[in-house]
Amino acid sequence: MAAVIQRPLRGSRISTFYPVKNLPSLSSLDSAFQLQEYISLLIRLDVHDVEAITSLPGTSGESNKEDEKEKEGEKSKSSAPEVSVDEACWIYEQLRRLAQDLSHPLITTLQQECTRASCPEMKAGEWLYLCVAHGNDGAMEQCCAIDYILHTVDSATALLNSPRTFPSRLSIPQTSHRHFSSLARRLGRIFAHAYFHHREAFEQAEAESSLYARFLALTSKFDLVPSEFLVIPAASSSSSSFSGSAHHDHQHPHHPPPPTVTRSKFGRNRTDTMVFADAEA
């Protein structure tokens, strides 16, 4: 089967290739970064369809989308050879794209209002997060929220692009799987701070990108982050409007039991960078 060319030709108008109107099959993408391009096409097709974006190609989420396209009269992809996607490679590419998409619109919006003066500590509700980007030997220090956020994105990007930890994007070493849970947990703290302390920016970014919904779908589907580390109320995160009872919960905080150290599918979660804010008062 001939490969589908997804790259724009010289002189093409941007309206001819964005947004994506037809989703090609994964096997038709002739690229060294096949999964990266496929995820990008899924996002451009419908950024709010987080189930389709995070589902492994060939699973129920993808099958439903292809069935809908066939009903619309599009060309069937059944003749294309099936591609077996390694789960670890899929999670790696999803986390890589997640760290990239955090920059805009969420972090660019936060930089306008989250300052060293307004948020001198990295908090999310009653939780205080300590930064490990200072010093050596895993030294933990407090830093302002915006610095913590930038340090987290920078360290996640550096780790995901480290040739020592991830020498290949086609095959992830078993020893590197343990980083997935830690990466997802730390990136999730950015959403938590925005939700509790910059609600309007969080809602605006979510309405535009559904990035937290994608994060939740990814972490729950592949067991990356235990529920006790997801501090945003579940009822609020699943609704289209992040208001109402969530504001009430924030005004009258309660102290849940400290999260226990649990072992997820992709490694153990550390909890020593997450403490009660009252303990530091």
Say which amino acid occupies 168. Answer: S
Phi and psi at residue 86, in whole multiples of 5°?
A: -70, 130
Beta carbons within 10 angstroms of residue 31's beta carbon: 12
- pLDDT of residue 162 exceeding 80, the answer is yes
pLDDT band at residue 60, thresholds of 50, 70 and 90?
low
pTM score: 0.79
**E strand or H helix that includes residue 267:** strand 267-268
- Which tokens hold the place of 198? 């910059």
pLDDT band of residue 83 (cuts 50, 70, 90) is confident
Chain segment 216-238, per-residue pLDDT in tens: 999 999 999 999 999 999 865 55
Q: Residue 203 pLDDT more than 90?
A: yes
- Tokens, residue 235: 């009822």
Q: Is the pLDDT of residue 103 over 90?
A: yes
Give the pLDDT band of residue 241 (cuts 50, 70, 90). very low
Residue 198 is assigned to a ligand binding site: yes
pLDDT at 134: 76
How confident is the prediction for the chain on average, in pLDDT? 81
Q: Is 247 annotated as a binding residue?
A: no
Structure tokens at 73: 């009269």
Return the H-helix or E-strand segment holding 178: helix 178-197
- What sign does the dihedral 19-240-157-219 (CA atoms) show? negative
114 labeled part of a ligand binding site = yes
For residues 68-95, give the mean pLDDT: 70
- Consult the annotation and say whether 119 binds a ligand: yes
